[in-house]
Copies of this chain bind each other. A is one copy, B any other.
Amino acid sequence: MTKIEYQPLNDRAYQEILTGLTNGIFAPMQPLVIRTLAESYGISATPIREALQRLVAERLLVVLPNRSIVVPQMTREKFAQLLPVRVALEGMATELAVPRLIPEDIARLRGILDRIAGTAKTFDARAYLQLNREFHFRIYEKSGNEELLHVIQGLWLKVGPVFTGLFDSDHFRRHANDEHVHIVDALERRDAAAARACMERDLTLAAEALMPRLQARAAP
């Protein structure tokens, strides 16, 4: 007996819009119109509205004074502010995960590493982003701290759309996996401090590759 599962429409609308955001479907400052979205998803306005409200609460969308709901522009400043928060929390999660990772987890991480290396050769940006996310969260999940994990997830949602451009940088693509390898090595040695340091460096290097691509300030 396979449990059939029901998912409310607002949840699904949320997911749809979210992946749209992550894939950069919606241009910043272009308003998301409730009725339009409702029609294009073939559902009524109510669940769409709820999904948008939720995204606003998570700060993935913002409400203009006109009440229009738009994608906020990720500026260099905002990204720079997000970075130390992510470094602190993802570093913490990594450290916490060290004593809880079993050899099987390490093996799985090495598997991801191999696949990431593959994407650098095939220039498959989408696969890279997917695997990069999987790599990080396989570690964070092992922190055993659900509250911490939830906050980190929220932060990744915010920076998600920006990451899309990560693979465009030649230099980054070639070195994308370097820190990842160091992280897994440290994890395997059960060296929590080193694992944390490598994770922090990974985040910082990615941020440095991305920052120049971002606009200095929000458009007026």
Partner-B contacts on A (CB < 8 A): 10, 46, 49-50, 53-54, 57-59, 78, 81-82, 84-85, 88-89, 92, 145-148, 150-151, 154-155, 158
- The answer to whether A10 and B151 touch (CB under 8 A), given A81-B146, A84-B92, A92-B88, is no
Chain B residues near A92: list those with CB within 8 A: 84-85, 88
Chain B residues near A50: list those with CB within 8 A: 49-50, 53
Max count, chain B CB within 10 A of own CB: residue among A10, A50, A146, A155? A50
The SS class assigned to the A binding surface is helix
Oligomer copy total = 2
- The answer to whether A148 and B57 touch (CB under 8 A), given A46-B46, A50-B49, A50-B50, is no
Q: A78-B147, A81-B146, A85-B151 are in contact. List 18 more A-B contacts (CB 8 A).
A: A50-B50, A50-B53, A53-B54, A54-B54, A57-B58, A81-B145, A81-B147, A81-B148, A82-B147, A84-B92, A84-B145, A85-B145, A88-B88, A88-B89, A88-B92, A89-B89, A151-B154, A151-B155
